[in-house]
Chains A and B, each alone.
Chain A
């Protein structure tokens, strides 16, 4: 059955794109959680609705329209945090509400919901194109290069922001770059798991990895491993049981989280 499942071209495309975007979200999520910006994915996914609605109104590709819209919104969140000194959750809440409202207004003007919009809300990994898969590959490559070149700056800024500043690290730049890349990842991820479940891809695998890692590098590779395995298992389960792939991916992720938590508890008991 597995070989039959893998023989379909659309499954291959979906798995490649899904793995690439899941790995990207897993890496970004680690830093977002440690910077207490984990809900930014949720906020940006709501803004995605504006991008998708605009694309459906103008008959353009939703991915290309959503990227600039979400990027601008993510910069808006940063500005609210830096200039008005709002906490991350409040800034995300404001931009998220604005994105959702504008999206709904545009959708109403365009004549209401249709099946295209619903597929973006809940994800349809098997409709990913090779160009979108290539974009996911470019995104992961950019993240890996940035990690390689600025690993110490990123960990330092997440661990102790004031100290990082006294080392001459521009924490604001680090944060802005992180948020901009996340906005691209969010847009590419909505095809995989849907707008409603994107934030889960940014939060659950890193949390699972944080529970069972002893070094920071372990956190990064375990987060990627859990995320990619969940995509493969989720797509396979959805094929097997004929259920939505996005929801299946997230449920597998939750299963991994529960397993990691049990493993951690078991480890602590043994340590005693």
Chain B
């Protein structure tokens, strides 16, 4: 598998206050990575750094190119934690918002191909019925699905999501993570996701990254769940995550392969 993203000794901090220290990792094509960690641990900052929204120290490489020289941003889809809606009335339709995800053309002209891509992305996220409605008039959950369509419209190779399920109800959350799972398994889209919702999303995740001002753990779900030593080092939060993974919906997301659940059988 090819390396999509490489971070080497990435550091970030405000004056005298380190937020992230020496974080290094590689993300391969097809990975589905859950980033977890305590609040204030630097998860969102890490995403901002790899997206070029913040400037820190260290080396970040996208598809083999240093981030400063990287131009193929359409290969990356991004969904932020908060909806961008402000107090000021901004009458753009949901369809116009999705179109903003296509930045190859800069002007007002919209090509037939672009319209097709917009419709396809809205179809995937079940948002076609809102296409003509003003984005600000939609509910927060509907807005989040439209923003997911915007992240998908350029047919990205990697999706980066920052706690996307916070505003979703239970059924929307299931649909949301089901879609991410399909994109990952059927279409090979790499997913990098900050989440506290380890129960639902845990079914699909292949690797965990635990960030608490540094990279504490990065490995497969199996390694994360089964390593009692890691669990001890990670403390209460990680133990809670592991418990959640094991107990969600009354069954372990690892199924019969989980030696932790089946060691007595």
**Is A104's CB within 8 Å of the partner chain B?**
no
Residues of B within 8 A of A159 (CB): 84, 90, 92, 97, 100
Contacts of A155 in B (CB 8 A): 92, 96, 100
**Bitwise interface map of A from 209 to 228 toward B, beta carbon under 8 Å scored 1, else 0:** 01101111111000000000
Within 8 A of B (CB), among A152-188: 152-153, 155-156, 158-169
- Find chain B residues with CB under 8 A from A147 CB: 108
Distance in Å: Cβ of B190 to nearest Cβ of chain A: 16
Contacts of B48 in A (CB 8 A): 162
For residue A254, CB closer than 8 A to chain B, the reply is no
Contact with B91, one of A160, A165, A168, A214 (Cβ below 8 angstroms): A214
B140 proximal to A (CB < 8 A): no
Of B28-36, B72-80, B191-199, the stretch lying at the interface with chain A is: B72-80
A34 contacts which chain B residues (CB < 8 A)?
88, 90
208-230 of chain B: CB within 8 A of chain A: none
Q: What's the Cα separation between A151 and B102 when bound, in Å?
A: 13
Are A210 and B91 neighbours in the complex by a CB distance under 8 Å?
Answer: yes
Nearest Cβ on chain B to A241's Cβ, whole angstroms: 34
B71–A168 touching, CB < 8 Å: yes
Q: State A221–B52 Cα separation when bound (angstroms).
A: 35
Minimum CB–CB distance from B3 to chain A (whole Å) comes to: 20
Q: Is B17 an interface residue (CB 8 A)?
A: no
Residue of B nearest to A219 (CB): B91
Q: How far is the CA of A153 from the CA of B51 in the complex (A)?
A: 18
A-B contact count (CB 8 A): 90
Report the separation of the CA atoms of residues A211 and B136 in the bound assembly, to the nearest whole angstrom. Answer: 13
Name the residue on B nearest A153 (C-beta): B106
Which residues, 28 to 61 on A, are CB-close (under 8 Å) to B?
33-34, 36
Would you call B73 and A216 a contact (CB within 8 A)?
A: no
Contact check, B96 vs A168: say whether CB atoms are below 8 A apart: no
Judged by a CB distance under 8 angstroms, whether B235 is at the interface is: no
Q: How many residues of A contact B (CB 8 A)?
A: 33
Write out, one digit per residue, whether chain B residues 94-115 have a CB within 8 A of any chain A CB (1) or not (0).
0011011111011110000000
Q: From A150, A158, A162, give the contact of B80 (CB < 8 A).
A: A162
Q: Contacts A165-B52, A215-B93 given: A152-B105 contact, CB under 8 Å?
A: yes
Picked from B53, B89, B102, the residue with its CB within 8 Å of the CB of A166 is B53
Q: Does A148 contact B (CB under 8 A)?
A: yes
- Among the interface residues A148, A211, A214, which one has the most CB atoms of the partner chain B within 10 A? A214
- Smallest CB gap from A218: residue in B: B91
Tell me if A156 and B88 are in contact (CB < 8 A): no
Q: Please give, as numbers and ranges, the residues of chain B lying within 8 Å of A109 by CB-CB distance.
A: none
Neighbour of A213 across the interface among B84, B86, B91, B106, CB < 8 A: B91
* CB–CB B92/A215 < 8 A: yes
Give the B interface residue count (CB, 8 A).
31
When the two chains form the complex, which single residue of A33, A148, A163, A168 contacts B150, counting CB atoms closer than 8 Å? A163
Q: Tell yes or no: B134 within 8 A of A by CB.
A: yes
Once the chains bind, are B91 and A148 in contact (CB under 8 Å)? Answer: no
> Inside 8 A of A218's CB, which chain B residues have their CB?
91
Please measure, in the bound complex, the distance between the C-alpha atom of A23 and the C-alpha atom of B52, giving whole angstroms.
36
B76 / chain A contacts, CB cutoff of 8 Å: 166
Q: Which residue of A lies closest to B83 (CB)?
A: A160
Taken together as a complex, chains A and B put the C-alpha atoms of A218 and B132 apart, in Å, by 14
Inter-subunit contact B105/A166 (CB<8 Å): no
Query: Are A214 and B84 touching (Cβ within 8 A)?
Result: no
Does A149 have its Cβ within 8 Å of any Cβ on chain B? Answer: yes
Assess whether A160 is in contact with B100, with CB atoms less than 8 Å apart.
Answer: yes
Bound Cα distance A215, B131 (Å): 12
Q: In the bound complex, how far is the Cα of B136 from the Cα of A214, in angstroms?
A: 11
Q: Once the chains bind, are B107 and A33 in contact (CB under 8 Å)?
A: no
Residue pair B92, A210 in contact (C-beta under 8 Å): no
The closest CB in chain A to the CB of B73 belongs to A168
Chain A residues near B71 (CB-CB < 8 A): 168
One of A152, A158, A162, A166 near B106 (C-beta < 8 A): A152
Say yes or no: A33-B88 contact (C-beta < 8 A), given A149-B106, A153-B103, A167-B73: yes
Instruction: For A210, give the chain B residue with the smallest CB separation.
Output: B89
Q: Which residue of B lies closest to A147 (CB)?
A: B108
Question: Nearest-CB distance from B45 to chain A (Å)?
Answer: 13
Q: Please, which residues of chain A bring their CB within 8 A of the CB of B80?
A: 160, 162-163
Determine whether the beta carbon of B91 is less than 8 Å from that of A152. no
| Contact A215 to B96, CB < 8 A, known contacts A152-B106, A160-B84 | yes
Which 4 A-B residue pairings sit nearest by Cβ, starting from the closest?
A167-B103, A160-B84, A151-B108, A168-B73
Given contacts A33-B88, A152-B106, A160-B84, 17 further A-B contacts (CB under 8 A): A36-B86, A147-B108, A148-B108, A150-B106, A150-B107, A151-B106, A153-B106, A155-B92, A156-B100, A160-B80, A162-B80, A163-B100, A213-B91, A216-B90, A216-B92, A217-B108, A218-B91
